[in-house]
Amino acid sequence: MLKRPGNTFIVTIAISLLLLLIQFLIRVDSYFLSDPLVKMIQTISLWKQGWATESILYPAKEMDPDFLLSPLNEGFVFLNNNRLIGQYPIALTFLYSLFGFLPFSILPYFNIIFLFIFLRLLVKNSIQIPTLILVSLGTVVFPLLIDFSENGPFILLTGYGYIFLMKAFLTDKKQDWILGNLFLGISLWFRLEGVLFFISIQISIGFIQVFIKKESILQNLNPVRFLLFAVILSLFLLWNTYSYSHPLGTRHLTNFGNFDRTIFDQIKIFLSMVFTYPRPNGWSLGFFLQSPIFIYSILKLSKVQIIKDKTLLFHLLIVIFYFLIAGLTSPNDGITLTGRYLVVTIFPLTFILNDQMNELKKNKWILYPIYTWMFLFSFLVIAIFYFSSIELKKLRTELKTFNSSLFVTTNELLSGGFGLELIDKKVICIRRDDLLDYFSTNLNKTSPKEFTILTIGKETNTNKEERNRFASLIVSSEQLGYNCSKEEHTARILGRTCIRTNQK
């Protein structure tokens, strides 16, 4: 085994620099699409408006007063109290907006700091180098830290909260209870899973102390164990109620709107998060599909260990309870990296893996294929990031060939392709046929001198409706006094510039 602490520090630095290298290869300073794009635009909007409002800057508001034609994914933004806001937590945008004096494009590179602290936290809690490498490079943690998101601060806050509550479980020191409550309480402002994680920890501690140690239930109701977390949770719920008219805030308003799921639907969501589940748009990448070594380490636990080693039992119960609670309550299974909903279990699972590592090494014919699978899987995820960044760069290069004061797109791929330029550039998206009349009404009211309609250049069986919508836009614009004869092409985009011919 490598000696410590010198070797662990070298490994920590090497893994952190690897993340930085991959970020440079992917060019995360311009890799803004989908939810990272919304998060960064929220951040920039907050900074530019002096923290006076959470509303996203929207240059095309005059053309779209009801916020129905937002260029951003409508699943990520919505109208709330006459504000166009994102579903992402104010804590994330506020934290990063504090660095608005720096170029916003460098903010995603801050993730190297979160990864470094995450690795140091594990090292300080006696996690050996092989486990450290596996947990950092072979789990959902690494890909979650590649682009711009709240995952970095959330993982750190839950990690410190978990460590302090583990110490509190072992020593019952008041200071550890308070710090554990504090860190997990703050994590709520980044992701709601912090609530489920805290509940899982408290249930596990209560189970061990009441059913294993035979302590009284009243002894486990000591307010120091949960009071501070309850206070922070109450403040969180009150803030959301005041700001968004619902205690669970933006996450609820966008993710929990559908309550007609069947038990079978929830089972599919659970399977998708834990392993995978086939969907029309592809297979999801679940937590254990990417990191099967955790299952192997749990299976290698002996009954004697689980009964006698209360610390191992503590870690195992938290994993079990969290998976059950998350599986029952998750509103959806996300897209692609569904294992992110279970990322908090990295901490108890890491301690179990670390404890079992010497035992696992005895079966190298099983262990090495698992190693290979995990690293190949991580490589696959990184490759997806890399090639999508190349395609995004090509799309933006093509979009720059079009010059207009107003862009009207027929899908969110094109409108979102403008990236951070959406802060200053007027772009709207006619994503559905039912928005055509709304667009025509506002076009007639505002009567801009010219605008450009963009759509996918190549017509296929899958985009016939979109091309029909493109044709309808041209017809309705010409009926309102525009000449849309000027046509431009790039490799994948078709554009028609409409110029007003009559004077109002």
Domain closes at, from 384, 416, 447: 384
Q: Are 409 and 415 in contact (CB under 8 A)?
A: yes
Q: Structure tokens of 400? A: 């720059």
Q: Is residue 51 part of a domain?
A: no
Q: Are 389 and 26 in contact (CB under 8 A)?
A: yes
- State how far the Cα of 161 lies from the Cα of 45, in Å rounded to an integer: 31
Q: What's residue 389's pLDDT?
A: 93
62 pLDDT higher than 80: yes
Helix (H) or strand (E) holding 379: helix 364-399
Q: Is residue 48 part of a domain?
A: no
Q: What's residue 339's pLDDT?
A: 78
- Based on the domain organization, do 285 and 376 belong to the same domain? yes
- Based on the domain organization, do 290 and 422 belong to the same domain? no
Neighbour tally for 398: CB within 10 Å: 19
- Based on the domain organization, do 452 and 428 belong to the same domain? yes
388 pLDDT higher than 80: yes
Q: What is the pLDDT of residues 84-140, one digit of tens each?
A: 888 877 788 999 999 999 999 999 999 999 999 999 999 999 999 999 999 999 999
Q: What is the pLDDT of residues 232-241, one digit of tens each?
A: 999 999 999 9
282 pLDDT higher than 70: no
- Based on the domain organization, do 238 and 341 belong to the same domain? yes
Q: Is residue 45 part of a domain?
A: no
Q: Structure tokens of 239? A: 């803030």
Q: What's residue 161's pLDDT?
A: 98
- Based on the domain organization, do 284 and 344 belong to the same domain? yes
Q: What's residue 257's pLDDT?
A: 53
Q: Is residue 110 part of a domain?
A: no
Number of domains in the chain: 2
Domain housing 302: 149-384
- Based on the domain organization, do 345 and 415 belong to the same domain? no
- Based on the domain organization, do 357 and 426 belong to the same domain? no
- State how far the Cα of 254 lies from the Cα of 332, in Å rounded to an integer: 11
- Based on the domain organization, do 314 and 457 belong to the same domain? no
- Based on the domain organization, do 377 and 425 belong to the same domain? no
- Based on the domain organization, do 378 and 461 belong to the same domain? no
- Based on the domain organization, do 347 and 471 belong to the same domain? no
Q: What's residue 250's pLDDT?
A: 82
- Based on the domain organization, do 260 and 296 belong to the same domain? yes
Domain closes at, from 384, 417, 432: 384
Average pLDDT for 356-363: 92
pLDDT band at residue 280, thresholds of 50, 70 and 90? low
CB contact set of 71 (below 8 Å; sequence gap of 6+): 60, 409, 412, 415, 416, 418, 422, 427, 428, 429
Half-sphere exposure of 240 (CA within 13 A, CB side): 22
Q: pTM for this one? A: 0.93
What is the widest separation between alpha-carbon atoms in the chain?
87
CA neighbor of 200 nearest in space, from 333, 331, 348: 348
Average pLDDT for 314-328: 94
Q: What's residue 1's pLDDT?
A: 43
Amino acid letter for position 473: L
Q: What is the pLDDT of residues 204-232, one digit of tens each?
A: 999 999 888 888 887 778 899 999 999 99
Q: What is the pLDDT of residues 363-387, one digit of tens each?
A: 999 999 999 999 999 999 899 999 9
Q: Is residue 39 part of a domain?
A: no
Domain closes at, from 353, 384, 415: 384
